Amino acid sequence: MMHRPHPRLMTLAAGLTIASLLLSACGGGDGGGKKVDPDDWVADLCDLWVDSDDELNSIGEDIDTTDKDSVLDVLDDAVNLSGNLRDDFDDLGQPDIEDGDKVREAFQASLEHREEAFAEARDKVNDLDEDDDDFEDQVFEVFEEMPQSDLLDDLEELADNNDDVADLVDEINAECGDIIFASVVTGSTPAGVRA
């Protein structure tokens, strides 16, 4: 049976992205204080994000938006994947530029936001009655209501006052901005629920 995919469900999240909650300035992972060459940092960031985006797309390929368990399974996987991405990001360190710590904090807040957005969506879907005639519409409404991340706005605000950050954002845009900012700003959701 073909199910009507929803564009917001596919693009929600990094992102999904989901109230800005800042993590501590020191970072959560072992690499938090490690300063990394900006070019290397962007390359590692892009590799990490592309891999995560591919995984996120694959988890929803067989979603059945009329089946509550199917939707919940995909959302559980999306929560776990988002947590893994956040943990892996923490190991990247920070770009060795002025305000590199603030760049890192903006990404951390966005990733936390993404994970929480998927968890909130999962809780809302769990509260739905699968026997309702409009269950699928209610599922799509949950995804439409998922909050968006302010990552790109936060980075652009930092870039307005710092040429190093502006150069870093430009490099991210050139290397993988279509994935990072599409998945975080508008959010990421698993494939199979795309329009």
What does the pLDDT read at residue 154? 93
pLDDT value of position 184: 44
Please tell me the predicted confidence (pLDDT) of residue 64.
93
Tell me what pLDDT residue 46 has: 96
Classify residue 96 by its DSSP letter. Answer: S
The tens place of each residue's pLDDT in the chain, 195 residues long, gives: 444 444 444 434 333 333 222 222 233 444 567 999 999 999 999 999 999 989 988 988 878 999 999 999 999 999 999 999 999 999 999 999 999 999 999 999 999 999 999 999 999 999 999 999 999 999 999 988 988 878 999 999 999 999 999 999 999 999 999 888 875 433 445 554 533
Phi and psi based region of residue 47 (left: phi greater than 0; alpha: psi -120 to 50; beta: remaining)? alpha
Q: Are 126 and 32 in contact (CB under 8 A)?
A: no
pTM of the model: 0.78
Q: How many helices (H) and strands (E) does the chain have?
A: 7, 2
CA 38, distance to chain mean position in Å, is 21
> How many angstroms separate the Cα of 129 from the Cα of each of 124, 125, 140?
10, 8, 14
Confidence (pLDDT) at 12: 41
Per-residue confidence (pLDDT) for residue 149, from 0 to 100: 79
Q: What is the DSSP letter of 147?
A: P
Which pLDDT does position 32 carry in this prediction?
Answer: 62
CB 4 within 8 A of CB 136: yes
User: How far, in Å, CA of 186 to CA of 166, rounded?
Assistant: 21
Strand-pairing partners, residue 36, are 95
The tokens describing 119, both together, are 């968890």
Residues forming beta bridges with residue 94, ordered by sequence position: 35
What's the pLDDT at 7? 43
